[in-house]
Structure 1
Amino acid sequence: MAKTATRIDQFFVLHATRNDRWQVVADLARDWAAGAERPQGLADTLDELAVLEQFHAIPGSPTVERLRGLVETGEAAEAARLARHVAEVLMVGRGSDLVEEWEAEEDVVAADIVPSVVAPAEARRPYFEVLYVTAQEEPRWKTLRGQVRRLRRREDQFVYEPVFVGSVEDAICATVLNPRLAAVVVGENVPLHSRHQAPVIRELLEHVAQAKLQAPLGLELARALKRIRPELDLYMLSGRNVETIAGDPHADVLRRVFHSIEEPIELHLSILEGVAARYETPFFDNLKKYAQRPIATFHALPIARGKSVFQSDWIRDMGEFYGMNLFLAESSATTGGLDSLLEPTGNIKKAQEMAARAFGADHVFFVTNGTSTSNKMVVQALVRPGDVVIVDRNCHKSHHYGLVLSGGQPAYVEAFPLTQYSMYGAVPLETIKKTLLDFRDEGRLDRVRMLDLTNCTFDGHMYNTRRVMEECLAIKPDLIFLWDEAWSGFAHWSPFLRPRTAMGAAAALKDYLCSPEAVDAFERQQAELGPDPSREKLLKTRLVPDPRKVRLRVYQTNSTHKSMSAIRQGSMVLVRDVDFAHVESQFHEAIFTHASTSPNQQLIASLDVARRQMELEGYGLVMNAITIALKIRMAVNGHPLVSKYFRVLGADAMIPEQFRNSGFVDYLSPGANWGTVLKAVNEDEFFLDPTRLTLVCGTAGFDGTSFKGLLANRFNIQVNKTSRNSVLIQSNINNSRSDVALLLRVLVQVCRELEEGGGTTTDGFKRKVHSLMTEVPDLPNFSRFHDAYRKDGGPQTTEGDMRTAFFAAYREENCEYVPLRSPEIDKRLENGPELISANFVIPYPPGFPIMVPGQVLTKDAITFMRKLDVKEIHGYEAARGLKLLRPDRL
């Protein structure tokens, strides 16, 4: 136990600093061995690690105690050697390398440990750890560890190490802290409380595990662990009536129940089988086998098998660049071990079913044309001509084009503006409720088919998805939800972010709606509201749906390639729809419409593999991505020179205060911890994804586009999205601490050059900053559709027949072009006739359509267009001017 009380619930902080602490130990021990005095900090750091390592198998608590003994007996050289070895092993990172290196060390220095079977280097096996939650006393754990190790066999596909804990709270901590866990074995009669301080554990149990454990109960703990990390396989050991446990309706979280005195080899084999079930990649496995077969191709894909490439003097370099397997794995065939993406019946079908299991969906569809296509598929499948879709005007253009294709009529709702940074946030729930109530009051609520929102937004705004769906379903119980989660597919693998995802919220909402409490809550609220509540009262009340009427229909589109290890354009559609059987044929028609009949085999395989990776190591990868983001925030905002010119915006700048009921300000604010974050995740209307960082560069005199170019062209740093005065920095599962160091080094160099040029004191610099940070154009809201495209609309509602306007512009005689800066524009704004957009106009940045077909243009939109200084504006030809529909032709 540490000499000073160590809190074990600062999860991401501890995860980030574990390797750092071992490096500190290695450095201190090295200096000691070189002749320095034994540093006091060495013992203190070992005390910290003693708490952390009890939740890991390698190096684990025994290694800390062995190192502590070497320190106490003054064996500096051996202490330095062991500390250096531990630090190096942890830096390796890859599990297969890690276990081999560590067991080699154990063979040398720990003869009392039972020897393990180690695979040869050329046949390294994936490595994971298994948590054993046991009521047995700690002195017995060493013996138990040896018993588990003796079960290993050379023919095992994987190798694992056991981790033992003796309380419910320690089990929660290990599950959160140890990303290498792949399975948990839960015993009975385990004490509730940890020996360590863990005040946030109660909050974690309530908010993430959704459990209030009051007694040492095994099945309740298993359910809590499953909510935290649903990918884990859970097993239970019981000395009582195992048949009773197996028959419990809540035992579906368990993979298997064992009688505790039975032969342990069955548990060992079950653990390996459970991991193998996630390791399998049906399509990728078959594609590898296909590539090894001798095949003659008589179909229209000349590069299949690679002969046209490798036998050519002129394009052989392409084959050498990509390698032979790429071409051996290409085919137009959908038989012989392969499958059809459009009509999957074999390994693609199985791969999609495994993805559905992994992401908590009922169905998953692979898409190889990107999430732009996924969005259009869902809209076409579910929206009929004339249906109204409430949609964020700031969403990706694929949603708007999907409505044009399907004939759905958009009722645009506005996100809150962040004018200073030329970007929008997300749509307030009150705005959505007002729109639904407008349709209700006009007697046209039946026309509303879908709510279509982006979650999270490009800039990191995550909705309180469950609350949005609950309150909307209270007004319209059969409303369909489409959540575009192109940028946040990874969030499923974080227990902190999962509740904010469509599938995570849908799962929790489904469980709630099936409970007796849901009916009671609805009846109580109805009694409080009275028979005819006013609009104002409904808007101010957190509405509760009637579970007897709700039809839970949730769709999520997921750019797998944007946040997981999939090839570009790899996407998924996730479905949780109680009425999917009624629209399944339509959904397949949408697939036939939009999917290529020649989908890329490698994209399909990468989707399969991305699922495998996330199920087996996604939790740790996402935890690391969050850690990287926090390191960047601290490095930029805490550096005395860099923070003078640049800063990463916190939640207080990105989310207005009225949407942060928890009071959450920023991850770096004084006193903030993961208890604060949990409260914000649970309570706030909007939450800021920690992996998305808005880096303000306007204060350094750079507009977003030029700074993006500077980073790419001069320093080989790539970023994606920009605004007038910022760039978006994203951390993902690919980033490392070295990337953080590179970014900070570059920012320091840029700042030094600014300082050498006079820094903030020159008039030119001041003018640039003032222009970028103060003279920012107001963001225009959507105005309205022209009356010609609202023939069946009501006085309060705003939907429009955008499809008719879009195709009206296909006739040249219906259109006119007016130069943007022509006096005619101002004259018509003042006196008419109205300016009616003929097409979409989408500036990048900010990337949302400021004009859509059939929209009446206002002074705000024209002023914004005139102030834009970006080069890329889709739908606008500067030489010809604005493309407008002629009023006299409507």
Structure 2
Amino acid sequence: MATAAPRIDQFFVLHATRNDRWQAVADQAREWCAGGQRPDGLVEAVDELAVLEQFHAIPGSPTVERLRGLIESGDSDEAARLARHVAEVLMLGRGSDLADEWEAEEDAVLADIVPSVVAPGEGRRPYFEVLYVTGQEEPRWKALRSQVRRLRRREDQFVYEPVFVGSVEDAICATVINPRLAAVVMGENVTLHSRHDAPVIRELLEHASYAKAAGGTGLELARALKRIRPELDLYMLSGRNVEAIAGDPQADVLRRVFHSIEEPVELHLSILEGVAARYETPFFDNLKKYAQRPIATFHALPIARGKSVFQSDWIRDMGEFYGMNLFLAESSATTGGLDSLLEPTGNIKKAQDMAARAFGADHVFFVTNGTSTSNKMVVQALVRPGDVVIVDRNCHKSHHYGLVLSGGQPSYVEAFPLTQYSMYGAVPLEAIKKTLLDFRDDGRLDRVRMLDLTNCTFDGHMYNTRRVMEECLAIKPDLIFLWDEAWSGFAHWSPFLRPRTAMGAAADLKDWLANPESLDAYERQQAELGAEPSRETLMATRLVPDPRKVRLRVYQTNSTHKSMSAIRQGSMVLVRDVDFPHVESQFHEAIFTHASTSPNQQLIGSLDVARRQMELEGYGLVMNAITIALKIRLAVNGHPLVSKYFRVLGADEMIPEQFRNSGFVDYLSQGVNWGKVLQAVHEDEFFLDPTRMTLVCGTAGFDGTSFKGLLANRFNIQVNKTSRNSVLIQSNINNTRSDVALLLRVLVQVCRELEEGGGTSTDGFKRKVHSLMTEVPDLPNFSRFHDAYRKDGGASTTEGDMRTAFFAAYREENCEYVPLRSAEIDKRLESGPELISANFVIPYPPGFPIMVPGQVLTKDAITFMRKLDVKEIHGYEAARGLKLLKPDRL
């Protein structure tokens, strides 16, 4: 192998540049064909591709060898044609297109190298690839490949191609690099090390104890691959005692065990069946069938079947816009093959069970009115009146309203501030532990029911979820966790981000608690801490829970529509709760309370389909979204003109140094590879989701709101969240490289216009930038609840009866309005009586309550409100002033 070949463990770099590398080779070959002189770097470029293509079936290693042979023989015309065709095929992207187009390449020259992947005369079928990890020598792989292809049948629902590797390291690399893999077949006598340079892979193997995967039964390798990509179907081939392997408790990661290769047809059918099990969408499949049936409707849904629409002169355009199937698939019936979302027993129930399997949950519930409702459902189901919930004050308003509805008492904890950008990060573990210990020391820890946090935050801060749960459970073993992952449901499909998700961390924690090592670790720590460790010691120690006492109760809400291919308002509640049988009835009551009795059929169908897509191609889609984000970061921060006025913030500017133990600075930093990223994911208290990019626009003289409007109105670019001096750019599974090019072109145009207007040299520009970037208001922390709403509060705790305060404001005589900028406000801040908020006040941005019912307002909060220059403030009427509870009415 040429020394210029890249390291195979540069995971995302290799995959992200695969198409670019082929295009570069095609360009060089075209130059050679046109000019008669072979470019100096062409052979080296093909050698680099050879390392990458060994992990893919199409075009794969045979095509690279074919291309190398053409180059060595001097056949520039055929080399240019082949390289161009490969580049064009890869640009198609879709697997079925790729397979169809590759079949067209099969002429007499290539027939023995690239056999057909689609039977003649057949239509397009979904295409995937299967990894074979074999101990057989590489010269045998061509014959093995032919044997696999001969198993294809015309009636097969899918088409797949085999990829062969001969070592544990190569198997891990292929699993990470090749997003088209849907299954892995593992043999025996597989060596550990790759023949290529793979130092980061070796660090990973040592860190995760994967080295045991070499030899033996291969179950260690199977478990390693399952941790990387849990959606893959794994099959084991063994010439030894297959009964013993199948009976091993660790074999639960395998779909099936085969004795050697004695049943190749059964293996082939098992692979197809495994993919079909993920391809099935019970509700959506049935909805399509329902839409094809002739049905007369005598229920209250006139648009069902579409006759009132298509037979109208006045609204027929709506039907033409949306299409007939939207109306044919509408019904308010829950019989005749349909199902009830409120009490599912048929295809909705099956679809939810399949979603639970996909996301690693015990139960999943579909929600059709957004994660705002999902959050309120969970809070109402689990929190009783008077229970204390430790909650991030900056979380979505649905959590606060959920506590009002349930009667839970919030004990607010503060996230670290990013004052310069008018936003908060996430809540330090220190603050959470301190609050729990405050309740313990007050003898009231039994009152604490739940910890409620946002993960990841709007701006991309992800918790070290497992560590938070471990240390909290060490203090209160039955604590319930609600993780609002509205923005990061996609993260389950990334091996780098999954450990930071609620379900990913819960699965790891469950495995660890079941391991005898967990009890050993707990008892060792107890011996070190002594019988009565001080509060300071507990705060400074990474606490280990007692596995005998832990009740693992984890809930995750997931805005499927925010990061997957679901219709707007599609959400899921994911449950991994050992005590769920004890709360299931009240959970259903919460569903009955909040869910519509007329849910949208198409929305439910989209949740079903979103799960299917993520199980079968989510890994590649998320990998692409991360790649897009890295491209945006590089395009903005690396452009000589754009970077004068705009920049995407790195982790060092979004996460204070004390929360980054690994020393990770940014994805673009010199020398960063995915080994360093893995270290940050594993060690750091907070980690920055790469797909969420804070683009600073204040340095270009724009506040976030005006720049958002400029992008939308002039350039048809939409963004969502803004701050005083930034906008949030998100990459998702919908984005392409063309989107990156458009964004960069627009930023270049804006920068040129600034330059033509004098740029940074004008006094007006300097004043504007100074105002946006320097004269920023301090962010107010939560002050306290008024004593009237803390009648059963502890001496050192902060919880309050927000529900009583909220409903006190329903009586007009209890309330008063005081103008925000009046002298009365200043006088009362100085000498009383206290200012007590009657409602939630939520400015956008920053988008969280800076005042809640029953809160005593301080000078910090008033100053912040007075400095706000945003147009949208929920709960505040400028004409009337602040709505306050009268002190004499408390």
TM-score normalised over the length of structure 2:
0.99
Q: May I ask how many residue pairs the two structures share in their alignment?
A: 890
Residue 140 of structure 2 aligns to a residue in which SS? helix
Kept in 1: contact 2:62–2:114 (CA 8 A): no
Cα offsets for 1:356-378 (capped at 9, x unmatched): 00000000000000000000000
Post-superposition offset of 1:601: 0.3
Instruction: Call closer, same or farther: CA 1:210–1:841 in 2, change over 3 Å.
Output: farther
Match of 1:561 in 2: 561
For 1:36 and 1:825, locate their aligned partners in 2 and report how far apart those are by CA, in whole Å: 83
Post-superposition offset of 1:37: 1.3
Match of 1:581 in 2: 581
Post-superposition offset of 1:119: 4.9
Post-superposition offset of 1:691: 0.3
For 2:323 and 2:284, locate their aligned partners in 1 and report how far apart those are by CA, in whole Å: 17
For 1:538 and 1:249, locate their aligned partners in 2 and report how far apart those are by CA, in whole Å: 36
Moved more, 669-678 or 408-417: 669-678
Match of 2:742 in 1: 742
Kept in 1: contact 2:106–2:114 (CA 8 A): no
For 2:110 and 2:739, locate their aligned partners in 1 and report how far apart those are by CA, in whole Å: 37
Post-superposition offset of 1:218: 1.3
Instruction: Call closer, same or farther: CA 1:367–1:211 in 2, change over 3 Å.
Output: farther
Kept in 1: contact 2:498–2:504 (CA 8 A): yes
Residue 122 of structure 1 aligns to a residue in which SS? coil
Instruction: Call closer, same or farther: CA 1:392–1:120 in 2, change over 3 Å.
Output: farther
Residue 330 of structure 2 aligns to a residue in which SS? coil
Instruction: Call closer, same or farther: CA 1:836–1:857 in 2, change over 3 Å.
Output: same
Kept in 1: contact 2:789–2:804 (CA 8 A): yes
Kept in 2: contact 1:566–1:610 (CA 8 A): yes
For 1:842 and 1:456, locate their aligned partners in 2 and report how far apart those are by CA, in whole Å: 20
Kept in 1: contact 2:106–2:116 (CA 8 A): no
Kept in 1: contact 2:339–2:348 (CA 8 A): yes
Kept in 2: contact 1:433–1:472 (CA 8 A): yes
Residue 107 of structure 2 aligns to a residue in which SS? helix
For 1:207 and 1:630, locate their aligned partners in 2 and report how far apart those are by CA, in whole Å: 26
Instruction: Call closer, same or farther: CA 1:245–1:213 in 2, change over 3 Å.
Output: closer
Kept in 2: contact 1:2–1:50 (CA 8 A): no
Kept in 1: contact 2:188–2:215 (CA 8 A): no
Cα offsets for 1:413-463 (capped at 9, x unmatched): 000000000000000000000000000000000000000000000000000
Post-superposition offset of 1:213: 3.9
Moved more, 692-701 or 210-219: 210-219
Post-superposition offset of 1:112: 2.1
Instruction: Call closer, same or farther: CA 1:652–1:114 in 2, change over 3 Å.
Output: closer
For 2:662 and 2:426, locate their aligned partners in 1 and report how far apart those are by CA, in whole Å: 18
Residue 122 of structure 2 aligns to a residue in which SS? helix
Cα offsets for 1:664-692 (capped at 9, x unmatched): 00001111111110000000000000000
Post-superposition offset of 1:111: 2.9
For 1:212 and 1:425, locate their aligned partners in 2 and report how far apart those are by CA, in whole Å: 40
For 2:755 and 2:50, locate their aligned partners in 1 and report how far apart those are by CA, in whole Å: 46
Residue 667 of structure 1 aligns to a residue in which SS? coil
Match of 1:345 in 2: 345
Cα RMSD over matched residues? 1.1
Moved more, 481-490 or 100-109: 100-109
Post-superposition offset of 1:211: 6.6
Post-superposition offset of 1:107: 3.8
Post-superposition offset of 1:396: 0.1
Post-superposition offset of 1:240: 1.0
Instruction: Call closer, same or farther: CA 1:797–1:210 in 2, change over 3 Å.
Output: farther
For 1:375 and 1:461, locate their aligned partners in 2 and report how far apart those are by CA, in whole Å: 19
Kept in 1: contact 2:789–2:805 (CA 8 A): yes
For 2:376 and 2:173, locate their aligned partners in 1 and report how far apart those are by CA, in whole Å: 42
Kept in 2: contact 1:851–1:857 (CA 8 A): yes
For 1:818 and 1:198, locate their aligned partners in 2 and report how far apart those are by CA, in whole Å: 67
Cα offsets for 1:322-342 (capped at 9, x unmatched): 000000000000011110000
Kept in 1: contact 2:408–2:801 (CA 8 A): yes
Kept in 1: contact 2:370–2:570 (CA 8 A): yes
Instruction: Call closer, same or farther: CA 1:128–1:209 in 2, change over 3 Å.
Output: farther
For 1:369 and 1:210, locate their aligned partners in 2 and report how far apart those are by CA, in whole Å: 43
Kept in 1: contact 2:815–2:885 (CA 8 A): yes
Post-superposition offset of 1:118: 1.9
Cα offsets for 1:619-638 (capped at 9, x unmatched): 00000000000000000000
For 1:210 and 1:613, locate their aligned partners in 2 and report how far apart those are by CA, in whole Å: 30
For 1:608 and 1:470, locate their aligned partners in 2 and report how far apart those are by CA, in whole Å: 33
Instruction: Call closer, same or farther: CA 1:291–1:712 in 2, change over 3 Å.
Output: same
Post-superposition offset of 1:41: 1.4
Instruction: Call closer, same or farther: CA 1:206–1:231 in 2, change over 3 Å.
Output: farther
Post-superposition offset of 1:559: 0.2
For 2:568 and 2:205, locate their aligned partners in 1 and report how far apart those are by CA, in whole Å: 38
Query: Is 1:790 equivalent to 2:786 in the alignment?
Result: no
Moved more, 381-390 or 32-41: 32-41
For 2:626 and 2:883, locate their aligned partners in 1 and report how far apart those are by CA, in whole Å: 45
Gaps of 5+ in 1: none
Cα offsets for 1:739-769 (capped at 9, x unmatched): 0000000000000000000011110000000
For 1:106 and 1:811, locate their aligned partners in 2 and report how far apart those are by CA, in whole Å: 79
For 1:30 and 1:878, locate their aligned partners in 2 and report how far apart those are by CA, in whole Å: 67
Instruction: Call closer, same or farther: CA 1:347–1:120 in 2, change over 3 Å.
Output: farther
Post-superposition offset of 1:26: 0.7
Moved more, 109-118 or 18-27: 109-118
Kept in 1: contact 2:217–2:245 (CA 8 A): no
Instruction: Call closer, same or farther: CA 1:296–1:784 in 2, change over 3 Å.
Output: same
Moved more, 231-240 or 210-219: 210-219
Kept in 1: contact 2:131–2:165 (CA 8 A): yes
Instruction: Call closer, same or farther: CA 1:206–1:370 in 2, change over 3 Å.
Output: farther
Q: How does 1:282-293 map to 2 (within 5 A)?
A: 282-293=282-293
Residue 574 of structure 1 aligns to a residue in which SS? strand
Kept in 2: contact 1:554–1:576 (CA 8 A): yes
Instruction: Call closer, same or farther: CA 1:819–1:117 in 2, change over 3 Å.
Output: closer
Moved more, 676-685 or 4-13: 4-13
For 2:491 and 2:168, locate their aligned partners in 1 and report how far apart those are by CA, in whole Å: 26
Post-superposition offset of 1:88: 0.4
For 2:203 and 2:349, locate their aligned partners in 1 and report how far apart those are by CA, in whole Å: 40
Kept in 2: contact 1:387–1:409 (CA 8 A): yes
Kept in 1: contact 2:5–2:51 (CA 8 A): no
Kept in 2: contact 1:235–1:257 (CA 8 A): yes
For 2:108 and 2:344, locate their aligned partners in 1 and report how far apart those are by CA, in whole Å: 53
Cα offsets for 1:6-31 (capped at 9, x unmatched): 20001001111000000001111111
For 1:44 and 1:398, locate their aligned partners in 2 and report how far apart those are by CA, in whole Å: 57
Kept in 2: contact 1:117–1:154 (CA 8 A): no
Instruction: Call closer, same or farther: CA 1:829–1:340 in 2, change over 3 Å.
Output: same
Post-superposition offset of 1:104: 2.1
Instruction: Call closer, same or farther: CA 1:121–1:314 in 2, change over 3 Å.
Output: farther
Post-superposition offset of 1:34: 1.0
Post-superposition offset of 1:738: 0.4
Post-superposition offset of 1:115: 4.5
Post-superposition offset of 1:42: 1.0
For 1:795 and 1:306, locate their aligned partners in 2 and report how far apart those are by CA, in whole Å: 63
Cα offsets for 1:702-724 (capped at 9, x unmatched): 00000000000000000000000
Moved more, 430-439 or 199-208: 199-208
TM-score normalised over the length of structure 1:
0.99
Residue 481 of structure 2 aligns to a residue in which SS? strand
Post-superposition offset of 1:122: 7.6
For 2:114 and 2:799, locate their aligned partners in 1 and report how far apart those are by CA, in whole Å: 72
Residue 41 of structure 2 aligns to a residue in which SS? helix
Kept in 2: contact 1:168–1:194 (CA 8 A): yes
For 1:839 and 1:659, locate their aligned partners in 2 and report how far apart those are by CA, in whole Å: 34
For 2:210 and 2:263, locate their aligned partners in 1 and report how far apart those are by CA, in whole Å: 34
For 1:114 and 1:735, locate their aligned partners in 2 and report how far apart those are by CA, in whole Å: 31
For 2:154 and 2:846, locate their aligned partners in 1 and report how far apart those are by CA, in whole Å: 57
Kept in 2: contact 1:127–1:159 (CA 8 A): yes
Residue 34 of structure 1 aligns to a residue in which SS? helix
Cα offsets for 1:260-293 (capped at 9, x unmatched): 1413111000000000000000000000000000
Cα offsets for 1:302-338 (capped at 9, x unmatched): 0000000000000000000000000000000001111
Post-superposition offset of 1:205: 3.4
For 1:415 and 1:560, locate their aligned partners in 2 and report how far apart those are by CA, in whole Å: 25
How high is the sequence identity, in percent, across the aligned residues? 91
Instruction: Call closer, same or farther: CA 1:211–1:534 in 2, change over 3 Å.
Output: farther
Match of 1:31 in 2: 31
Post-superposition offset of 1:203: 3.4
Kept in 2: contact 1:208–1:496 (CA 8 A): no
For 1:487 and 1:120, locate their aligned partners in 2 and report how far apart those are by CA, in whole Å: 44
For 1:121 and 1:597, locate their aligned partners in 2 and report how far apart those are by CA, in whole Å: 47
Kept in 1: contact 2:367–2:573 (CA 8 A): yes
Instruction: Call closer, same or farther: CA 1:249–1:714 in 2, change over 3 Å.
Output: same
For 1:210 and 1:650, locate their aligned partners in 2 and report how far apart those are by CA, in whole Å: 32
